Structure 1
Amino acid sequence: MNPSHASDDSSGGVSFYTAIMEVLRIAMPLLISTGTFSLVLFADRTFLLSYDGASMSASMASGNLFWVLVCLPVGIASMTGAIIGQYVGAGQQDRIGRFLWQSVWISLAFTPLFALIAWHAPWLFRVTGQPESLVSLESTYLRWLMIGAVGHVLETALSGFFSGIERTSVIMWVSLASGLTNVVLDLVLIFGVGPVGDWQLPAMGIAGAAIGSTIAFWFKAIVYVVLLLRSKHQLRYRLIDGFGFDWPMTRNLIYFGLPTGLMYLTEAGGFTVMVLRIGSLGDIPLRATTMAINFNMVAFIPLIGVSIASSVLMGRHLIESGPRRATQSVYAALAIGLIYSTIWMAGYLVVPDVMMSLYERSVSDAGSVEAIRLARGLLKYVAVYVVLDAIQLILAGALRGAGDTWFVLFGGVVVSALVLVIGFVWEPADDGLHWWWTMIALWIWLLATSMTARFAYGKWKTMRMV
């Protein structure tokens, strides 16, 4: 590694077309991978709407809380790819196996905490003011998901190996297989099977949806383990030889990963507080919010793939070629993200009725019909912030890839706290649903503004993680 590269803005430049193609090479498999996850979430909640509208509402509130509870370890594990990218850029591939083991140990260390959370699930929902009619459903969903939580964190760490060495097609195929498994399990476990002769699998509703997700989490983790055991990985990256505990490497991962996890926690916590506040307004507002966010997730989650590509390429090029080349990769990722999110913005504004018709085919009860009417209007809020969401996500990924993780955390904490204070202090008495959706749009606008300002400031150009 040559540290002087990081301050040489004149070195390492390529054409913008080359930068775009490199980002696409890494990001497209991740787009498909994360897009598969978003479609699975969409299918999961749509199936639950067909089964029971209250189950769909409960899955939204409980699923958001699940993410809040696991995003700290997931955030730490997610830095595995960015740091491995810097090991690749520095020509230190022989250290990658040892480093990957540290990410595995951290993932497994959270097991007791997840078990404790599952035990106290009903209390968590009651303390947030959820309607008693939803608490049982929400608790069931969360408890099953917590069984899969360790698998989720572990597969995040292991997939970081493949993103870090820029073999993102592996992540794509594993995610496609996992997504298909999840959808099939959803259909079977939510609605049941049979009777076939003397055998019948009863409908399990929301518990079946959670069980399907849990199996999918562990399926991905196991597949990654099998792939990592291939001899070519053992020889080049010393995966088996690297077995053991290495405190300096663990400390390095925690130092750069902890603020990422806390940032995820801050963002997810702020968003979940807003969703739970909407949930306290009743089942119909929460159901409408779930429907709108479902379509938001279909657009948002694939952008995580572009963000990961931005992070990995930033880490590699910053060490290998310098800030100019790293900046080109980020601009290329932004171009892809802006084109993608603008298409979705047009869809939310032009064809909201077509989107909502996917729900109308599944329901007939008056509550769901009213929720669909409300959700159609909420898509306008999504259209307002979807492009800004792409900007903040990609730039935050780039800053993390450079090692500027503590600013990403600080910016997220300040913005989330500010929006929640505004939301609770000035909340109107008569239209809480639209007020909190306005707060969501404001929140994302402020995040995009802060990440843009930090990236333009350029302190990241002198940072290192290896």
Structure 2
Amino acid sequence: MSVRQKDHPETPPKQKRLADTDSVSLSPPGVERRAAVHHFAVELTEVAKLALPIVVTQLAQVAMMTTDLAFIGRMGAEAIAAAALAGRIYLVGVTFGMGLLAASASFAAQAFGADNLNVVRRSLRMGLWTALLLSLPIIVFLLHGEKILLALGQAPDAAGLAQHYLSGVAWGAAPLLSFLALRTFMSAVNRPEPVLWITLTAVPLNAVLVYLLVYGKLGLPKLELFGAGLATTLVNCATFLAGLWFATRCQPFRDYRILAQLWRFDWPLMRQLIVIGTPISMALLVECGMGSAVALLMGLIGTQALTASQIASQVGAILFMISSGIGAAATVRVAHAVGRNDVPGIKRTGLAAMLLGIVIMAALIIVVIAARFQIAEFFLGNSADDLDTTSGLAAQLIWVGASAFMSATVYTIALGSLRGLKDTRVPLLFSAFAYCLLGFSLGYLLAIKSGLGAVGVWIGISIGSAFYAALLVLRFKLLASRRSRHGRHMGC
């Protein structure tokens, strides 16, 4: 009996599924509806079970970044600004690798659905190769971060401080991407729990290391920003080694023998990863570029607008961690349905994931709107000039951005479902159109030409996000329906 069958006895063989489908099709309409509701409820439960540990893992990573900023903040405003600049460079550096590794999830999950353990193993193997090969140019890129920042017109002092952090964090690129490869593998085989426990353990470990290395405690040298980056590298190494231990020593992962023939480079699969993953990376870069462009536009409007927008963006980023976790679960579950040739299950999974995300996000957005003034005051403290005006503007942007937060949930989950179908190039075009041509352009016109200021920018963002979400949902429904028609034509 295979690994998938041992771990998931509830998954019926193909012959039984076809027989069940035939029996339902000959049943009265009421029985068909009850069966459809039952299957949808089961799928909703499965998506939730898979998404929960992924979401908590995402939030734990936010907690680590927040801890870093808290310790760095005690060094002064210059250190915070330098860390923010370094974070931008670091994010750009690792984004391309994240896209290719995200593509490996759909390959591994489809193979798992088809009970093809060999392809699951090959997908992870090429994910680890991708992590190793991409880490080399990423390290070089990060070690030249100061020159890049200077070329972008940043102040020499801030660029120099940013380089201190980048010099420490650069060496963690390989273990970070390798851990992401293990993470996608574990999620693809319906076992994301080890990644959750590893990440939760990493949160206090990261806090201790940052404290010791930044301030030079227990006889260690005081490394300041370099120490913060070095602590992140050490945590990345620890999480990768822990993930590797789980993947090689614990069941059910041990049966996959993930290190077997690790030295073999699979060119055909790597080409497919590049074709599927490169558009994902480019879409991520579009979103990063959009965030930077919005920050620059807010800077033109004024300091208060920039500060208020950063608060609203931070709220959105935290909410995005939740929707991205559900989107990752949608990728896996849709790919499972594709792998086992469950044509109705493809659309059912996507719709279940969207319903789950919408319900959760609606509840959270209601809480955020109700507490928007308190949230703004929490971020600002007593540090902002003209505190009441800035706090009021931030609260207003959170209110205006509520629709953007919901749209982001829908498009993130739809995007994850499309990745489960290995559809990435068309969503990239949608992203460029909705964000760059529509959202940002409209935001600029409303903010500068119509005099709405920061609110106008966020209205433009909200419209662009809504349009992007609508395009992706329609795209998913089109592809799912096309597969359904093809399945009926083939007699499935």
Question: What is the TM-score when the length of structure 1 is the normalising length?
Answer: 0.85
Structure 2 residue 402 is matched with structure 1 residue 383: yes
Partner of 2:30: none
2:54, 2:192 within 8 Å by CA — same for their partners in 1? Answer: yes
Partner of 1:338: 358
Sort the Cα spacing of 1:20 and 1:347 in 2 relative to 1 into closer, same or farther, 3 A: same
Deviation of 1:288 after TM superposition, in Å, equals 4.1
Partner of 2:180: 156
Report the 3-state secondary structure (helix = DSSP H, G, I; strand = E; otherwise coil) of the residue aligned with 1:428. Answer: helix
CA distance in 2, matches of 1:339, 1:329: 16
| Of 260, 269, 272, the match for 2:280 | 260
| Of 283, 295, 316, the match for 1:296 | 316
| Of 98, 108, 112, the match for 2:136 | 112
Deviation of 1:386 after TM superposition, in Å, equals 0.9
Note the alpha carbon deviations across 1:437-463, whole angstroms, 9 max, x for none: 444333322321221221122268549
1:189, 1:212 within 8 Å by CA — same for their partners in 2? Answer: yes
Sort the Cα spacing of 1:447 and 1:31 in 2 relative to 1 into closer, same or farther, 3 A: same
Structure 2 residue 57 is matched with structure 1 residue 33: yes
CA distance in 1, matches of 2:268, 2:183: 22
Partner of 2:256: 237
Partner of 1:444: 465
Partner of 1:274: 294
| Of 64, 71, 81, the match for 2:88 | 64
Note the alpha carbon deviations across 1:55-99, whole angstroms, 9 max, x for none: 434434432342223211111012222211111111111332233
Partner of 1:410: 429
2:400, 2:459 within 8 Å by CA — same for their partners in 1? Answer: yes
Sort the Cα spacing of 1:426 and 1:341 in 2 relative to 1 into closer, same or farther, 3 A: closer
2:107, 2:120 within 8 Å by CA — same for their partners in 1? Answer: no
Sort the Cα spacing of 1:94 and 1:235 in 2 relative to 1 into closer, same or farther, 3 A: farther
* 276-285 or 148-157, larger mean C-alpha shift: 276-285
Structure 2 residue 202 is matched with structure 1 residue 183: no
Q: Which amino acid in the other structure matches residue 275 of structure 2? A: Y
| Of 249, 254, 258, the match for 2:269 | 249
1:130, 1:280 within 8 Å by CA — same for their partners in 2? Answer: no
CA distance in 1, matches of 2:481, 2:121: 27
Sort the Cα spacing of 1:184 and 1:443 in 2 relative to 1 into closer, same or farther, 3 A: farther
Q: What is the aligned-residue RMSD (CA, Å)?
A: 3.4
Sort the Cα spacing of 1:121 and 1:258 in 2 relative to 1 into closer, same or farther, 3 A: same
1:141, 1:207 within 8 Å by CA — same for their partners in 2? Answer: yes
CA distance in 1, matches of 2:360, 2:394: 22
Partner of 1:456: 477
Q: Whose Rg is larger?
A: 2
Sort the Cα spacing of 1:378 and 1:208 in 2 relative to 1 into closer, same or farther, 3 A: farther
Report the 3-state secondary structure (helix = DSSP H, G, I; strand = E; otherwise coil) of the residue aligned with 1:240. Answer: coil
CA distance in 2, matches of 1:370, 1:47: 28
| Of 157, 169, 185, the match for 2:193 | 169
2:64, 2:206 within 8 Å by CA — same for their partners in 1? Answer: yes
1:281, 1:432 within 8 Å by CA — same for their partners in 2? Answer: yes
Sort the Cα spacing of 1:27 and 1:79 in 2 relative to 1 into closer, same or farther, 3 A: same
Report the 3-state secondary structure (helix = DSSP H, G, I; strand = E; otherwise coil) of the residue aligned with 1:458. Answer: helix
2:168, 2:227 within 8 Å by CA — same for their partners in 1? Answer: no
1:93, 1:236 within 8 Å by CA — same for their partners in 2? Answer: no
CA distance in 2, matches of 1:446, 1:437: 14
CA distance in 1, matches of 2:66, 2:288: 18
Sort the Cα spacing of 1:236 and 1:403 in 2 relative to 1 into closer, same or farther, 3 A: same
Report the 3-state secondary structure (helix = DSSP H, G, I; strand = E; otherwise coil) of the residue aligned with 1:449. Answer: helix
Sort the Cα spacing of 1:318 and 1:71 in 2 relative to 1 into closer, same or farther, 3 A: same
CA distance in 1, matches of 2:240, 2:98: 13
Unaligned runs of 5+ in 2: 1-12, 26-34, 487-492
Unaligned runs of 5+ in 1: none
Note the alpha carbon deviations across 1:296-341, whole angstroms, 9 max, x for none: 2221112211111100000001231423112222222112211221
Partner of 2:146: 122
Q: Which amino acid in the other structure matches residue 455 of structure 1? A: F
Structure 2 residue 344 is matched with structure 1 residue 324: yes
Deviation of 1:133 after TM superposition, in Å, equals 5.8
Q: Which amino acid in the other structure matches residue 457 of structure 1? A: L
CA distance in 2, matches of 1:339, 1:290: 26
1:182, 1:212 within 8 Å by CA — same for their partners in 2? Answer: yes
Identity rate of aligned residues, in percent?
20
User: Which structure exhibits the higher relative contact order, with contacts defined as CA atoms closer than 8 Å and separated by 6 or more residues?
Assistant: 1
CA distance in 1, matches of 2:419, 2:360: 22
1:287, 1:368 within 8 Å by CA — same for their partners in 2? Answer: no
CA distance in 1, matches of 2:418, 2:109: 14
Sort the Cα spacing of 1:399 and 1:358 in 2 relative to 1 into closer, same or farther, 3 A: same
Note the alpha carbon deviations across 1:410-465, whole angstroms, 9 max, x for none: 2112223314455567762877644444443333223212212211222685499x
CA distance in 1, matches of 2:303, 2:233: 26
CA distance in 2, matches of 1:353, 1:50: 25
Partner of 2:490: none
CA distance in 2, matches of 1:357, 1:404: 42
Report the 3-state secondary structure (helix = DSSP H, G, I; strand = E; otherwise coil) of the residue aligned with 1:15. Answer: helix
CA distance in 2, matches of 1:431, 1:185: 45
Sort the Cα spacing of 1:345 and 1:128 in 2 relative to 1 into closer, same or farther, 3 A: farther
Partner of 1:226: 245
